[in-house]
Structure 1
Amino acid sequence: MQEIADVFETPVSREVWKWKYRLPDEANRDATVRDTWRRVARALAAAESGHSAHWERAFFEALEDFRFLPGGRILAGAGSRSEVTQFNCFVMGTIEDSIDGIFSALKEAALTMQQGGGIGYDFSTLRPSGMPARRCGGIASGPVSFMRIWDSMCATVLSTGARRGAMMATLRCDHPDIETFIGAKRVAGELRNFNLSVLITDDFMAALEHDRDWPLVFPINTEKTPADSEQIVSRRWSNTDSPVPCRVFRVIKARDLWHAIMRSTYEYAEPGVLFIDRINRQNNLWYCEHISATNPCGEIPLPPYGACNLGSINLTRFVTDPFEDKAALDFQAIKRITAVAVRILDNVIDASRFPLPRQRDEALGKRRLGLGVTGLADALVMLGLRYDDECAAELAEKIMRTVCLAAYRASVELAGKKGCFPLFDPDKYLDSGFARTLPHTIREAIAERGIRNSHLLAVAPTGSISLLANNVSNGLEPAFAERYQRRILSPVGLQNYDIENYAVRLWKRLRSEPTLPPAFVTTFELPPHAHLRMQAAIQRWVDNAISKTVYLPEDFPFSDMESLYRQAYDMGLKGCTTYRPNPVTGVVISPSEPLSTSSVCCEQTD
C-alpha cells in the first residue's frame, strides 16, 4: 500500500477514494488509486475506433497526479460491472399535470437515482393548489405537495451507501404557488433532499425595477372556454413552444415577491435564483430546446432528459515555482490537458449506461460536456495573489478563456474525425448568444468543419473530487479556512475529519515554518462583492453555467444581501446563491482547533 501513501497526503483523501471511487467488486477491486486511473483510462479509450492503446496512455497521464478530475460518477463507474451511469446528474422530463403523469415522472426519477444520477425538475407544469382537478372533481394540492413525494423517494432509494441524494426543484416566478415554494424549506428537515431555485424572468426584473404589479398565472385548460370575468395573458410556459393563454389568479407587487425570496434566502439559504431568460438567450441550442431547470448544483442548465457530463482541470498542478517571485501558470500545459479532457468526456457519452432511453437519445443527439476548473483559490495563493485582488479576477478570466478556446478547438478537431453532434445547425448554432462572442477564427472553423459537442464548459462545485485530490479548494470557491472540520457521509454513517487547506499545507512543507502564505485569505474575510466579481469574470467564457455560493457572515445586513442579487443580474450572471449561517440549514463545515494527531474522529451521528 506504499503507492497509496505516496499519492494521498491526507487520510480523508484516501478514505474518499475507498468509499466513493474504488471499484467495489472483490474480484476486481482497485488495489491503488493508480488502478482506478488505469481502469477509467482503459474503459474510455475503448470508445476509440482505433489507436485505443495510445489514448489509454494519454488518458492515464491526464488522470495521473489528479491533473484532470473526471466527475465522480465517471471515476466510480467507468470500467465497472455495475449497472450505474457515468453522468453525475440529469434534468428529468416535463411533468404532465395528471396523476398518471406525476407518478410516471416519479418512477423515472427513482430509476435514475438508483443508478447514481442526481436529478433536476421544473414543477411549474403542475397546477396550483386550490385549482379544480377536472377529471376527478377534486381540488389540486399544488406542486410543493408533490415535491414531498419526490423527497421521500430520494431518501428511500439512497438510504444506504456513501452517496447522498441530490435533487433540484425549480418554479417559475409567475406560478400562483410561488410564495408557498419560497417558504417550503423554512422548517428544518423539510424537503431536505432538494435544492430550490426560482426561475426569474427579464420581465420580472423590469417589473421589480419600476415597482410594477406582477400577475401570478397558469395556463388555462385547452378544453375550457375562459369566463368573461377571467383575465387572460399570454405566456410561454415551461412545456410550450410558443406563448399560450394563461389565467391570472392573483396580482401582487413584484417588489413584495422579491422581498419574500430575499428574506427566505437570508434566513435559511434558499431558494436560489436562476435568471432563466438569460440562460435561454445564451444557450448554444436555443433553436432546438428550451431550458427551465438545472442539475442539483446549478452549473448545467438542461432541457428535459438532458445530462451533465462533468470534469475539472486541477489548476494547482499547473503552477510552476509556487510561492516564489517567479511563480507562474503553465498555460501551454493547460491547453494540452484541455484537449485530452474534451476527448475523455466525449467518450463518456458513448461508454456510459443510461437509466432511461430518452436520456441516451438526448445525450447522443447533442453530446453536451461540462469541463471546468478546480483549485482556483489555492492556485492563486501559490501565485501570490489574494482572491479579492483585481488582478486575481483578471487571471481567472484568462484561465477560463484559455480553457474555453482550447476546448472549442478540440471539439472542432474531433468533429473532423468523428462527426458533428447530430442536431448541429451551423447558422443557428453560430447565432446563439454565447457563440457570437467566440473569436472569429473559432467561429470560422465551426462554420467550415462543425463541432462535436453542443456545449463544453461548466464550473462545478467539485466537493468530493477536490477532497480526493488532497483537498484542493473547490471549483472557483475561496478557501474556507486554514483548517476546519467537515462531516463526510460514509457507508457506516457520517464521519468527522479535521482538514487543512492544500495551499497552506504545501507552504508549510516548502518553507518549513508554521506561518500562513501572504496571499491566503478565507471565505469569510472576503467582501461578498469579490465572490460576484470572480464569478462574473469567469462566466463570460462558460457556455453552460457556474456553481458558486457567496458566503455571508451571520451579521450581514439584509439590505446588502438583497442588493447582491440585483448586482448579479446587472453583471450578466446566470444565477446567484448565497449562504448565511442560520439555525435551519445547520453547518456542514466548521472552523477547527489546531489539527490533532488523529485525523478521524469516528463520531457517528443519526
Structure 2
Amino acid sequence: MPTKLSTDLDAITDIPLQDASADIWDTKYRLKTKSGAAIDGSIDETYQRVAKALSSVEKGKAKQDSYYKEFLWALRQGVIPAGRIISNAGAHEHKPATSTINCTVSGSIVDSMDDILGKVHEAGLTLKAGCGIGYEFSTLRPKDAYVSGAGAYTSGPLSFMDIYDKMCFTVSSAGGRRGAQMATFDIGHPDVVEFIRAKREDGRLRQFNLSLLITAEFVVAVKEDKSWPLSFPIMQREREEDNLDLNDESLILWRDLPHTEGYVENEDGLVACKITKKMPARRLWDIIMSSTYDYAEPGFILIDKVNEMNNNWFCEDIRATNPCLAEGTLVHTPQGLRKVEAIKEGDIISTVDGSGAVETVEKHENVAVLKVSFSNKKSLLATEAHIFHTVNDNGVINRDKRLDELIVGDLVSTFDNGQLATTEIINIEDAGVATVYDLYEPKSDTWITETIVNRGCGEQPLPPYGSCLLGSINLTRFIENPFTDKASFNWADYRKTIRIFTRMLDNVVEINGLPLEKQRKEITSKRRHGMGYLGLGSTLTMLGMKYGDKESLGFTSEVTKILAIEGWKEALHLAKEKGTAPALEQTYKVTGSMLHKRPEMVTDGYKAGDEIAGKVLHAKYSRYMQLVAQEEPELVAQLAEQGARFTHHSSIAPTGTISLSLANNASNGIEPSFAHHYARNVIREGKKSKEKIDVFSFELLAYRALVNDKAMPYSEQADEQLPEYFITADAITPKQHVDIQAAAQVWIDSSISKTANVPTDFPYEDFKDVYMYAYEQGLKGCTTFRFNPEAFQGVLVKESDLESTTYQFTLEDGHVIELKGNEEIEYDGEMHSAANLFDALKEGYYGKF
C-alpha cells in the first residue's frame, strides 16, 4: 500500500509550481521593464499589482484599502482574472497601450472594399492592444460573384480572410504574443464548403479558429434528409440588371438575416437571397463532421439558440429597418418646405411643439419602401418600420405605430398651420426601393412631412463592437480532505469568493483600455462580464468522482448554479450601491418582433408601440433570467425593479495558459485533464519550431504529494498505479463530454468553451453524430478534437501519440528519413523533436515545405 503523506488543505495550496507553470507565468503574466528586468518579484506580487489596480476604482481611500485586502484574499484563494487582466492591470506605466479585455467582436463587415479594409485597420488596433477579436465573414459575397461597380468578379470571402490572417500574424509577431481571431460563417453561404476546408492548405488561416453558424432550419433539413439551398442576399441593382423574378421559388430564398441594409426586402423584413446551388443537407453535414474528425475544425455555433437565450434579446438582435422616409420627401420648416435630403444636423424644423434643431440625420441606400396614401390627398414613401402618431375615433392621439402595424382605415395625426388634425390611410402598397432619411429632434421627437406627423430616430441600436471581460475560479482550492472518503467542497468559501470576484470583474470595466470608442461605449453601456471556473476535471478526480458519471453531473450543475445565483445577488447589491447598467436604464419601444419572440408580453398586456424599461425586458422576459427566477423569484423581481449592475455574468472560457501557470496545471475550464503526464510544445524566442517540456496534471501532483509519491499513469507496477477515477479527456465518450456541458449550460448566460476529445483510433461512425446530440441537449455550440498527426501538431501532445507516429523527411538528394515523433533531430542549427520540425516546415516557418 502507498504511504499516505498528508491531506491538509494547506498542503494542497503549498504544492510548488512545476517548471512549466512557472515558465508561463514568467513569460506571459509577469510584469517586466522594457529591457526585460522583472518588476513582479513573485506570483504573489503579481496578485498584489492586480488587486491594487482593481481596488483603485473604488471611491475613497478607506474603500480602496478595504477592497484591496478582499481582492488580494480572493486572488490567493483561487480567483484568476483572464490573462489580459493579469498581464496589464496596474501596468499602465510600462504598457500604456494595452487592454484588460480578452475578446471583442468586430463591427459587421459590409460587402465593400472600403469597409473590408477599414475593419482590417480596426482589427489591427484591437490586436495591438492585446485583445482577441471575432468576425463574421459570410456577409461578403461569394467567390466569382459579379461586382457591378468594379466591373469584375470577386475573389470571395476566403481571400479577404487571408488578408486578416496576415495582418494578425504581423501584429502578433511585433507584439510578442500570438493573436487570437475567431471567424464565423453562415451555413447557407455559397462558399461554406470552401470555408470548412480552408485550413487544410498548409500555413493558411493559422491565426484563426473557425466556427459555423448553424441554424435550427439546417438541423431539421439534416434530420429530414432534405436539400439545402446555398444563397446570398440580392442587391437592388443586381435585381434590376438581372431582371430577377422574386416570386421564382427555385431561384429566390427569403431569409431572416441580421443585416438588411442595401438588400431587397419584403414586407415581413425578410431578405431576398439568390440560390446559387443546392446540395443534400446530410452531405453538407458529413463534410462538417469529417472535417472535425480529421482537422478538429470547424466548431459550430447554434446561432438560433444563442439569440433565444441572450439576456439582451431586446437590443442586440435588431433585424428591422430603421424608421425612414424616402429621398424627395418635403419637410416642414419655419422657412417653408425643404427636401429631406437637404436637411443637415443643427437645422431648424417644424414640430408639434413649434420648432426645434435636428440632432441627428440618418441615411440608408437601397432600402425597401411602401407608398402610403392618405385621405387628405397626401402620400409618403416610408420603410415598414417608420413610426406614425395614430389617432383613435375621438381624435385623441392613441399611440405610436410602425407602418407594418397599420392598415387601411387607420387614422394618423397631421399638423398644418399650427393645427393638429387627422387623416385616414386609404392605401398601402409596395413601392420598390429608395434612398431614405430619418431626422431626430430631441425635444418633441417629431417632424412634419406633407402635413403628416412622424416620430424620429431617438433610439439608436447599440453598436456591434461588443467586448467581454473574463475570469475564472480555481475549483481545486475549495477541496478538503482530497482522495479520501471524507473529501468535500467548501461551499461557504466558494460563495464568498464569487461575490468578491463579481465586484472585481465589474471594476475592470473602468480600466478597460479598449482602443476603439465604439468598443468603450459598448462595454460601459452593458458592463457585461464572463465569470467561470477552471479545474472542474481535477476537482472531480480529487473528490473521487469520475468525469461524465451521474454523480459528476450533479456536482457540475450545483457548482455552476451557485456561481450564477451568487453573481446575480451581487449584481443587485452593486446596482444599489453604484448604479444600474445604462443599457438597462433605457426605455425601449415594444415592437411586433418582441411580441413574437415573447408571447407572454401580450398576455401581460403589452402592445407594439408601448414603452418598457430595459431592466424589465432583461429580468422578466429574458429566457435565462426566467430560469433563475425558478430558483430565486424574489431576487429576479428585485432585479426587474432596480435593474442589474451588468447584463451578463457568466461564461466558462478556455483557460489553457492560466490553468497551466497560475493554477499549476489544474484542468482547463470545464474540461477533464488532457493527460496526467504529457509533453507541452512551447515557442521559444528566436526558435522556429517548438520545444517539448514535461508537464504533470495538478491532481497527479497533489496525489504524489499527499498520498503516493511514486504514482504514475499507465504504470504496470502495483505500488505506482493510480485509482480508477483518474481518467483523462480521451477516455471520456463524446456523449459524456456533451452531458457535462449540458449540466452547466443551464446556468451560464453566455458561452461555454468545451471540446469533446476522442482518441486517434475512435471510430468515425461513433463520432459523427456528436453535434446532433449536442443540438438535442440544448447546447449553444460544440467543438471536437482528435489527434491527427497528418493535419497538425497541437500544443499538448501525449508521449504515446508521438511514439506511435512516424514522420517522413525527404532530403535534397532524394533520400527519405523516417523518424518517430518523439525522436530528436538537428535542423538549421537547432534541435527539434521530429514532430515539431515537421510542423514548422509544414507551416512555412522555414519557407516552402
The question of a shared fold, defined as TM-score above 0.5 by the shorter chain, is answered with: yes
1:486-525 to 2 correspondence within 5 Å? 486-493=680-687, 494-515=690-711, 516-525=722-731
Residue matched to 1:159: 173
SS in 2 for 1:470: coil
Tell me, yes or no, if the aligned pair for 1:164 and 1:489 is still in contact at 8 Å. Answer: no
- The Cα offsets for residues 370-407 of structure 1, whole Å up to 9 and x where unpaired, read as 10010111111111111132101111110000111111
* Matched-pair contact (CA < 8 Å) for 2:463–2:518: no
Between the aligned partners of 1:182 and 1:240, the Cα distance in structure 2 is 25
- Paired with 2:18 and 2:176, the residues of 1 have a C-alpha distance of 19
Amino acid at match of 1:208: V
CA contact (8 A) 1:219 1:237 kept: no
Q: Secondary structure, in 3 states, of the residue corresponding to 2:170? A: helix
The C-alpha deviation readout for 1:27-72, integer Å capped at 9, x for no partner, is: 881111111111111111111123111111111111115x100000
The equivalent of 1:588 in structure 2 is 795
Deviation of 1:442 after TM superposition, in Å, equals: 2.6
Aligned AA (1:79): G
Q: Hey, what's the Cα distance between the residues in 2 that align with 1:434 and 1:502?
A: 34
Partner deviation per Cα, 1:387-441 (whole Å, 9 max, x = no partner): 1321011111100001111111111111111111111112321212211111312
Residue 622 of structure 2: aligned partner: 432
Aligned-partner residue type, residue 437 of structure 1:
L
Aligned: 1:31 with 2:38: no
Q: Secondary structure at the match of 1:348?
A: helix
Does the alignment pair 1:257 with 2:269?
Answer: no
Letter in 2 for 1:131: A
Q: CA deviation at 1:161?
A: 5.6
Matched, 1:365 2:522: no
Distance 2:558 2:59 in 1: 35
Alignment partner, residue 350 of structure 1: 510
Partner Cα separation in structure 2 for residue 463 and residue 457 of structure 1: 18
Distance 1:348 1:509 in 2: 37
Q: CA deviation at 1:342?
A: 0.8
Tell me what 1:387 maps to.
547
Retained in 2: the 8 A contact 1:291–1:303? no
Q: Deviations over 1:548-593 (max 9, x none)?
A: 1101122222222221110000000001111112211223222248
Q: Of 603, 620, 645, which aligns to 1:452?
A: 645
User: For 1:11 and 1:404, how far apart are their aligned partners in 2?
Assistant: 35
Select the structure of larger CA radius of gyration.
2
Residues 41 and 59 in structure 1, CA contact (< 8 A), matched pair in contact too: yes
Secondary structure of 2:678 counterpart: strand
Distance 1:205 1:456 in 2: 29
2:18 to 1, 10, 23: 10
- Give the structure 2 partner of residue 268 of structure 1: 295
Once the two structures are TM-superposed, the CA of residue 239 in structure 1 deviates from its matched residue by 2.3
Q: Note the residue ranges of structure 1 that are not aligned, 5 or more in a row.
A: 293-301, 594-600
For 1:170, the aligned partner's letter is T
CA shift, 1:159, in A, is: 1.2
- What TM-score comes out, normalization by structure 1 length? 0.93
C-alpha offsets along residues 57-109 of structure 1, whole Å, 9 cap, x if unaligned?
A: 111111115x1000000000001121101001111111111110000000111
- Which residue of structure 2 lines up, in the alignment, with residue 566 of structure 1? 772
After TM superposition, give the deviation of residue 280 of structure 1 in Å: 0.4
Q: Secondary structure at the match of 2:213?
A: strand
| Cα distance in 2 between the residues matched to 1:92 and 1:396 | 33
- Where does residue 714 of structure 2 map in the other structure? none
Of residues 73, 78, 87, the one that matches 1:76 is: 87
1:132 has 2:325 as partner: no
Identity across the alignment (%): 40
Structure 2 regions of 5+ residues with no counterpart?
Answer: 1-12, 262-268, 320-461, 585-613, 712-721, 801-823, 825-829, 841-849
1:235 corresponds to 2:255: yes
The one-letter amino acid of 2:628's match is: L
Q: What SS does the aligned partner of 1:184 have?
A: helix
The answer to whether the Cα contact below 8 Å between 1:106 and 1:150 also exists between their aligned partners in 2 is: yes
- Report if the CA contact (8 A) 1:71-1:309 is conserved: yes
* Residue identity opposite 1:420 in structure 2: T
Distance 1:203 1:100, change over 3 A: same
Alpha-carbon spacing, 1:438–1:240, altered in 2? closer, same or farther (3 Å):
farther
* Contact kept in structure 2, 1:96 and 1:125, CA below 8 Å: yes
2:190/2:231 contact within 8 Å kept: yes
Deviations 1:286-344 (A, max 9, x none): 1111399xxxxxxxxx9821112010010000011111211111111111111111111
Residue correspondence of structure 1 range 268-347 to structure 2 within 5 A: 268-290=295-317, 304-347=464-507
Mean Cα deviation higher: 328-337 or 506-515 = 506-515
Cα distance in 2 for partners of 1:217, 1:436 equals: 36
The letter of the residue matching 2:667 is: S
For the Cα contact (< 8 Å) 2:732–2:758, is it kept in 1? Answer: no
Partner of 1:462: 655
Picking from 45, 66, 71, the partner of 1:59 is: 71
What letter corresponds to residue 261 of structure 1 in structure 2? I
SS of residue in 2 equivalent to 1:185: helix
Alignment of 1:95-134 (within 5 A): 95-134=109-148
Does residue 214 in structure 1 map to residue 228 in structure 2?
yes
Determine if contact 1:466/1:472 at 8 Å carries over to the other structure: yes
Whether the aligned pair in 2 keeps the contact of 1:161 and 1:491 (CA below 8 Å) is no
SS in structure 1 of the partner of residue 109 of structure 2 = coil
- In the alignment, the residues of structure 2 paired with residue 162 and residue 603 of structure 1 have an alpha-carbon distance, to the nearest angstrom, of 22
* 1:480 aligned partner: 674
Q: Distance in 2 between matches of 1:291 and 1:279?
A: 14
For residue 756 of structure 2, the aligned residue among 542, 545, 550 is 550
CA–CA distance in structure 1, aligned partners of residues 651 and 778 of structure 2: 16
Q: Is the contact between residue 20 and residue 76 of structure 1 (CA under 8 Å) also seen in structure 2?
A: yes
Contact 2:128–2:175, Cα closer than 8 Å, also in 1: no
Q: Structure 1 stretch 500-509 or stretch 275-284: which is displaced more?
A: 500-509
Distance 1:35 1:492, change over 3 A: farther
- Please tell me whether the aligned partners of residues 15 and 705 of structure 2 are also in contact (alpha carbons under 8 angstroms): no
Displacement, 1:512? 3.6
Letter in 1 for 2:665: N
* Residue number in structure 2 paired with 1:296: none
Q: RCO (CA 8 Å, sep 6+): is it higher in 1 or 2? A: 1
Distance, in Å, in 2 between the alignment partners of 1:518 and 1:272 is: 31
Letter in 2 for 1:246: C
Could you tell me how far apart the structure 2 residues matched to 1:240 and 1:470 are? 49
Between the aligned partners of 2:195 and 2:798, the Cα distance in structure 1 is 32
Secondary structure in structure 2 of the residue aligned to 1:109: helix
The C-alpha deviation readout for 1:441-497, integer Å capped at 9, x for no partner, is 232121122101111111111011111121111111111222100012344544322
The answer (yes or no) to whether the contact 1:482–1:522 under 8 Å persists in 2 is yes
Deviations 1:163-209 (A, max 9, x none): 21211111101111111111111223211111111100011111111
Paired with 1:118 and 1:30, the residues of 2 have a C-alpha distance of: 25
Give per-residue Cα distances to partners, 1:101-159, cap 9 Å, x unaligned: 00000011111111111111000110111111121111111111100111111111111
More helix by share: 1
Residues 1:141 and 1:204: Cα distance change in structure 2 (over 3 Å):
same
1:577 aligns with 2:783: yes
Per mean C-alpha deviation after superposition, the further-off stretch among 392-401 and 552-561 is 552-561
Q: Structure 1 residue 9: deviation in Å?
A: 2.1
Q: Distance in 2 between matches of 1:287 and 1:585?
A: 42
Closer/same/farther in 2, CA of residues 282 and 513 from structure 1, 3 Å limit: same
Please, what is the CA RMSD of the aligned residues? 2.1
Amino acid across the alignment from 1:234: W
Q: Secondary structure at the match of 2:316?
A: coil
